[in-house]
């Protein structure tokens, strides 16, 4: 990407006057404000809008949604994959203690979701790219279910709710929707647009906020519905040693997740987790 092409993309995303093809304008004022302020800015307020590689890399999650659509939407033959209990979208330099994380998720499933507040400027909760985002089986099934909006007689409330979200067209997705698409497929297509203005984390956060477990009566009222994204700040412990933020939150042997790690670091943490396991012979002897 040339410097001039990069500047054109960034300027369009910040101004939110997208008119390329049939995409149209962002209609939601909070979206316009948020994108205008933060597009091209990553963790630690680092300005990444001059980095063509970083800008292009934000499409990766959208491309992954297309792959997930092919695996979970009911295809035939070898491409068909059973829906797992959990799907983790996580960076390759992140250590995850699966036993502790699964225990945490099981406990959270019993609680009311969305108890944490949001900053007013952010129109949807933002997923953690490094630490990762975890989807449960119910979420995967909803995202891989074909949606037909041209059916006034449907009694499927989830479909009705999703169709209302598409009609709201907050970020210009409505023009790309065709009956029979899944949500995975819709946002795979969305991420392929010329002027794609989502950070990869934003795309996941937007989908989870507006396209999972919604109810038609509360779609248009901010705060009336439960937020489906549980923030990782609620984890019992998490560590992160990174130059991006300038903050040092060192990982410990009790960390459930640990971002920005080298392979040797992961090996050490994995061994520590194994030793602490109640089924480990060493731990029983200790």
Q: Is pLDDT above 50 for 160?
A: yes
> What's the confidence (pLDDT) of residue 63?
92
In a domain, 246, yes or no: yes
In a domain, 125, yes or no: yes
> What's the confidence (pLDDT) of residue 79?
61
Q: Is pLDDT above 60 for 7?
A: yes
> What's the confidence (pLDDT) of residue 102?
82
CB 274 within 8 Å of CB 284? no
> What's the confidence (pLDDT) of residue 183?
94
* The residue to which tokens 């998490």 are assigned: 238
Least confident of 125-129, 164-168, 237-241, 275-279: 237-241
> Pick the residue with more confidence: 42 or 4?
4
> What's the confidence (pLDDT) of residue 48?
85
> What's the confidence (pLDDT) of residue 184?
94
- Structural domain tally of the chain? 1
Enumerate long-range contacts of 163-167, CB under 8 Å, 24 or more apart.
164/214, 164/216, 164/219, 164/220, 165/210, 165/211, 165/214, 165/219
- pLDDT more than 70, % of the chain: 72
Nearest alpha carbon to residue 184 among 63, 59, 24 = 63
Cβ burial, residue 161 (10 Å; 0-12/13-18/19+):
buried
In a domain, 135, yes or no: yes
In a domain, 285, yes or no: no
Range of 192's domain?
Answer: 3-277
Largest CA-CA distance found in the chain, in angstroms, rounded: 67
Determine the average pLDDT of the residues in 106-126: 59
In a domain, 284, yes or no: no
What is the per-residue pLDDT across 226-235, written as a single tens digit (0 to 9) for each?
Answer: 556 665 554 4
Round the average pLDDT of the chain to a whole number and report it. Answer: 76
Give the CA-trace dihedral at 226, 26, 145, 177, to 10 degrees: 160
What is the Cα gyration radius of the chain?
20
Q: Is pLDDT above 80 for 161?
A: yes
What is the per-residue pLDDT across 249-275, written as a single tens digit (0 to 9) for each?
Answer: 777 777 778 888 888 888 888 888 888
> What's the confidence (pLDDT) of residue 201?
87
> What's the confidence (pLDDT) of residue 185?
94
In a domain, 282, yes or no: no
């Amino acid at each position: 990407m040339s410097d001039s092409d990069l500047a054109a993309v960034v300027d369009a995303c910040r101004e939110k006057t997208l008119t390329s093809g049939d995409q149209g304008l962002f209609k939601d004022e909070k979206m316009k404000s948020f994108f205008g302020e933060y597009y091209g800015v990553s963790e630690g307020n680092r300005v990444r809008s001059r980095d063509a590689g970083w800008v292009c890399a934000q499409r990766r999650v959208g491309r992954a949604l297309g792959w997930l659509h092919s695996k979970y939407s009911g295809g035939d033959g070898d491409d068909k994959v059973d829906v797992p209990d959990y799907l983790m979208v996580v960076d390759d330099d992140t250590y995850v203690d699966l036993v502790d994380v699964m225990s945490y998720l099981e406990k959270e499933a019993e609680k009311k979701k969305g108890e944490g507040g949001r900053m007013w400027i952010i129109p949807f909760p933002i997923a953690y790219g490094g630490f990762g985002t975890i989807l449960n089986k119910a979420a995967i099934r909803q995202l891989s279910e074909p949606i037909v909006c041209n059916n006034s007689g449907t009694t499927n409330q989830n479909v009705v709710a999703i169709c209302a979200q598409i009609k709201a067209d907050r970020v210009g997705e409505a023009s790309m929707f065709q009956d029979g698409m899944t949500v995975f497929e819709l946002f795979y297509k969305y991420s392929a647009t010329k002027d794609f203005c989502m950070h990869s984390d934003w795309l996941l956060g937007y989908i989870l906020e507006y396209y999972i477990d919604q109810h038609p009566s509360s779609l248009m009222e901010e705060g009336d519905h439960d937020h489906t994204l549980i923030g990782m700040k609620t984890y019992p412990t998490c560590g992160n040693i990174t130059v991006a933020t300038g903050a040092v939150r060192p990982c410990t042997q009790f960390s459930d997740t640990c971002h920005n790690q080298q392979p040797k670091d992961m090996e050490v943490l994995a061994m520590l987790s194994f030793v602490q396991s109640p089924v480990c012979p060493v731990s029983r002897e200790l």
